[in-house]
Amino acid sequence: MDPDSSSPACDSISGAFHCTRGKKMTRFLCTAMASMTIAIPFAGPALAAVEPSFDLSDPSTAPFPSDRFTVPDDPGDPNNTGLRVDLPMPDCASRPGDCSNIETVNKLDGFNLLPRISIPFSGAIDPASVGSRSVFFVRLGTAVRRDDDQDGEDDGGDAEQRESRVIGINQAIWDPATNTLHAHADELLEQYTRYLLVVTTGIRDAGGAPIEPADRFERFLHDDGARHGRDATLERYRKSLRRGLERAKERLHLHRRSIAAASVFTTQTVTSVLERIRDRIDASTPAPATFLLATDPAVPGPGTARALFSASAIEKMVFREHVGFSTLPSGDRAPKFTLVDRTPSVALLRIFDGAVGQIAFGKFAAPVYLAGDGLIPIVGTLAGIPAVQQTGDLHFTLFLPSGERPSSGWPVAIFGHGLGQHDKNLDVFTIAGSLAAHGIATIAINFVGHGFGPAGTLALTLLPGGRIVSVPAGGRGEDRNGDGIIGPQEGFNLVPPGLIVARDSRSQSAIDLMQLVRVIQVGMDADGDGVADLDASRVYYVGQSLGATVGIMAVALDRGIRASVLNVMNGLQYEEFRLGTVFRPQLGVALANRIPRLFNNPSASCPGNGCAAFDENLPFRDQPPLTNDVAGAMGIQELLDRGEWVSMQAAPIAFAPHLRKEARPDVPARPVLIQIAKGDQTAPNTSTSALLRAGDLLDRTTLFRNDLAFAAPPCSGGAGKPCVDKDPHRFLTRTDASRTAPNFAIALQAQEQVATFFASDGSTIVDPDGAGGPLFEVPIRGQLPEELGYIP
């Protein structure tokens, strides 16, 4: 909220704020004051006033989040915030699910950047009186320790001169069963920053009277500590809360008697550890990538031939998928394989006949930070950096354009693949031709857990003569659950997934991308002539789905990526689980299997075909406050909040501001293009819109109107064929559709936008179907989509 010195005078108004002309105040705040001026006629005997609860013994009995439920960090391995979350543990025998979740949360150094707030009351309130004028956040300042801060004081960011900001709430829901108000922050909060959560007397009780300031809140603020036996945690929190209220009063002219309750909390660190890993990568000089890994009958020795082939010479490509293990009579395990014909993928390169000149397969050494349990070891966020657990080989597939190589090498786009079977040897073939037609090379690696097992190979039948050459496929899957099977993405998610699911696998995959950039920078020589084939000064990134959600971390932090395209990116992991049609049933299973069980639809079978039918009763944005009448919904909402909280370190929404709005230190803002699709059933529009708001990226976003494509001929709303996919999630890579299908033409148009963007070094964004075309909005016209818009 920007300061507005021209706001009208608002003297002598009985409200949460006081402002005068000439002060750095906002019109929003003055309006808030006026809205809280309420006349209450005498109506007989006084009833007990409703007030917020302020019992600091439990998170459910006072405004939350709150630094009351933190402890000082480990001084030997400190955090940016100086804190560690310390929620009280439940009875682990009867509530093992809650116990496990809180153990995970308690390792963080602060609270969620998009928090769900909870405010309990002594009685019923009028939900219609709840809004951003009666409940809001005040940004107090950074919580990061300073070198000159040796006094042990809780300074609350007092050395920072940035303007305090007021942030409202959204998605409010009143739970009458517990007399608790829940809501979400209206926007993404900043990492490692201290905030004041303010509850005002602008909230009315069920009878229309203003709520009263909480008596225990007032007593806590004015208590000298003797009543609590000088409890160090409570003393620290009392001091922090007093400072926060004083700061808000000074900067925003808050009227103290109109504050019914408040809390101070500190947000968690997101980027710091990953930035230090990036710096370690940047300071290293890795060995160049090697291409001598093919087994060719014309070359003596297995795995010694150069894996560089003319694209036109590949007649056939068969993927020998490493899909698991069989147990031998000796008890040893032998790999099991399945043969899959990937020749149709090679054929996609010929859409632009002759554009791709050569295909190469190579590998490079990369640091692995994931430990055997699938987690990156936790370190202090102030200065810590995890130990490298091992060094492993990462395999890549490289597509070089036809024609004479530029003197500085080919510009190159790193392609990030989607989730599941979409590995480095599949979807990249759908776009490499479009990029090569613009003189841009394409390179792809497998993300953690993808490409099936490590023993897989690709068998290439070459013309002339039909010689068969094999190369390692570079699979990174593993049999994580011990059932002898390696699934399409097994090794990506934790087993059991817990709250973390794939957070650290995403981070490791982003680290892998940064290592790939560094390997390109030291020189990548595919043909062995001693000259780099790729231009290290023109490295771009294009990611689809998972490739975008992983790629945004690398793009935001790696200076070596010059421009990027992020396609169908999900903003929040648990919103994808909750609203995505693929993942919602899986979330339902997790709710049903949990102890205590959270699946709350007794008429639906789960496990079974009814697992998507749970009811979390969470409103979309910008809706009036909702009164909850669904049993069990609040427990699901709490789990979703904790899941997003834990996942925030690898959440795309947390990195979106750093693309350009708030670029990280020493990382310049660079050109970025976002592509999304109306009615995406895998990356729901509501989640992506949250990311676009967080990064101020509306003007950089292209919207594919799948709803219009579905309604238009030849599909005509499903009556005709061929038709576009109802779920447009793969609209960028659907050149694998029939050439007469609408999806094919749409994919080529979207790819042309990507290729033109990179060819212009990020300076040109074309409208894929022309200025008058209806199917692509460049940029989005109107408001961000805040509904799902699924085609049934």
pLDDT tens for 450-508 read 999 999 999 999 999 999 999 999 999 999 999 999 999 999 999 999 999 999 999 99
**103, 92 Cβ separation under 8 angstroms:** no
Residue 115: inside a domain: yes
Q: Which two tokens stand for residue 316?
A: 């056939």
- Given a cut of 60, whether residue 31 has pLDDT beyond it is no
Q: Compute the distance between CA of residue 579 and CA of residue 687 in angstroms, rounded to an integer.
A: 9
The values of phi and psi at residue 336, to 5°, are: -110, 145
Residues 183, 73 share a domain: yes
- Give the position of tokens 């080989």: 393
- Given a cut of 90, whether residue 154 has pLDDT beyond it is no
Residue 705: inside a domain: no
The values of phi and psi at residue 105, to 5°, are: -60, -40
Residues in the chain: 792
Q: What is the pLDDT of residue 39?
A: 37
182 contacts: CB under 8 Å, gap ≥ 6:
116, 117, 118, 119, 172, 173, 174, 175, 634, 637
**Total Cβ atoms within 10 A of residue 320:** 18
Output the domain CATH number for residue 157.
2.60.40.1220
Instruction: List the beta bridge partners of residue 309.
Output: 359
Q: How confident is the model at residue 145 (pLDDT cuts 50, 70, 90)?
A: confident
**Amino acid present at 90:** P
Residues 251, 134 share a domain: yes
Helices (H), 669-738: 685-695, 706-711
Q: Which two tokens stand for residue 156?
A: 């609350």
Q: Give me the number of domains the chain comprises.
A: 3
Output the domain CATH number for residue 350.
3.40.50
Residue 655: inside a domain: no
Residues 230, 310 share a domain: no
Residue 29: inside a domain: no
Q: How confident is the model at residue 42 (pLDDT cuts 50, 70, 90)?
A: very low
DSSP letter, residue 741 = S
* Alpha carbon of residue 460 to chain centroid: 37
Let me know if 34 is exposed, middle or buried by CB neighbors in 10 A (0-12, 13-18, 19+): middle
Q: How confident is the model at residue 131 (pLDDT cuts 50, 70, 90)?
A: very high
Question: How do residues 525-542 score in pLDDT, each as one tens digit?
Answer: 999 999 999 999 999 999
Domain boundaries, position 620: 574-650
- Given a cut of 80, whether residue 117 has pLDDT beyond it is yes
Measure Cα distances from 30 to 3, 211, 251, 395, 530 in Å. Answer: 12, 20, 14, 60, 69
In the chain, the percentage of residues whose pLDDT exceeds 70 is 91
Q: What is the pLDDT of residue 71?
A: 97
Residues 414, 289 share a domain: yes
Query: DSSP letters of 119-186?
Result: EEBSS-B-GGG-STTTEEEEEEEE----TT--S----TTTT--SPP-EE-EEEEEEETTTTEEEEEES
Q: Compute the distance between CA of residue 138 and CA of residue 262 in angstroms, rounded to an integer.
A: 11
Residues 286, 234 share a domain: no
Residue 741: inside a domain: no
Longest dimension (CA), the chain: 101
Q: Which two tokens stand for residue 451?
A: 């490409």
Q: What is the crossing angle of helices 546-557 and 272-283, to 10°?
A: 70
- Given a cut of 90, whether residue 21 has pLDDT beyond it is no
Instruction: List the beta bridge partners of residue 367.
Output: 391
- Given a cut of 90, whether residue 595 has pLDDT beyond it is yes
* Mean pLDDT along residues 681-685: 98
Residues 335, 261 share a domain: no
Domain termination site, one of 561, 588, 611: 561
Domain termination site, one of 615, 632, 650: 650
Q: ∠ at Cα 555 (439, 147), nearest 5°?
A: 145
- Given a cut of 70, whether residue 32 has pLDDT beyond it is no
Helix (H) or strand (E) holding 323: strand 314-327
Residues 636, 519 share a domain: no
Q: Which two tokens stand for residue 662?
A: 């708030």
Q: Which two tokens stand for residue 56?
A: 């600091």
**700, 780 Cβ separation under 8 angstroms:** no
Q: What is the pLDDT of residue 34?
A: 40
- Given a cut of 50, whether residue 719 has pLDDT beyond it is yes
Q: What is the pLDDT of residue 292?
A: 98
- Give the position of tokens 């920072």: 160
Residues 305, 181 share a domain: no
Residues 291, 262 share a domain: no
Query: DSSP letters of 44-113?
Result: SSPPPPP-B---TTSGGGS-BS-GGGEEE--TTS--TTSEEE-PPP--TTT-HHHHHHHHHHTTSSSB-S
Residues 642, 581 share a domain: yes
Residue 167: inside a domain: yes
Q: What is the pLDDT of residue 18?
A: 36
Cis previous bond, 65, omega within 30: yes
DSSP letter, residue 290 = B
Q: Compute the distance between CA of residue 437 and CA of residue 752 in angstroms, rounded to an integer.
A: 10
Residues 202, 140 share a domain: yes
Q: What is the pLDDT of residue 157?
A: 46
Q: What is the pLDDT of residue 162?
A: 65
Q: What is the pLDDT of residue 256?
A: 82
Q: Compute the distance between CA of residue 102 and CA of residue 122 in angstroms, rounded to an integer.
A: 27
* Alpha carbon of residue 603 to chain centroid: 33
Average pLDDT score over the chain = 92
Q: How confident is the model at residue 133 (pLDDT cuts 50, 70, 90)?
A: very high
Residues 462, 415 share a domain: yes
Measure Cα distances from 618 to 462, 575, 589 in Å. Answer: 56, 11, 19
Q: Are strands 259-266 and 169-175 parallel, antiparallel or unpaired?
A: unpaired
Residue 772: inside a domain: no
- Give the position of tokens 């620290």: 236
**26, 2 Cβ separation under 8 angstroms:** yes
Q: What is the pLDDT of residue 47?
A: 66
Domain termination site, one of 650, 668, 695: 650
**Helix/strand/coil (H/E/C) assignment for every residue in 625-660:** CEECCCCCHHHHHHHHHHHHHHHHHHCHHHHHHHHC
Q: Which two tokens stand for residue 366?
A: 């990369």
**27, 1 Cβ separation under 8 angstroms:** no
Residue 265: inside a domain: yes
**505, 493 Cβ separation under 8 angstroms:** yes
**Total Cβ atoms within 10 A of residue 202:** 24
Q: Compute the distance between CA of residue 775 and CA of residue 767 in angstroms, rounded to an integer.
A: 10
**25, 45 Cβ separation under 8 angstroms:** no
Q: Compute the distance between CA of residue 344 and CA of residue 427 in angstroms, rounded to an integer.
A: 11
**Amino acid present at 780:** I
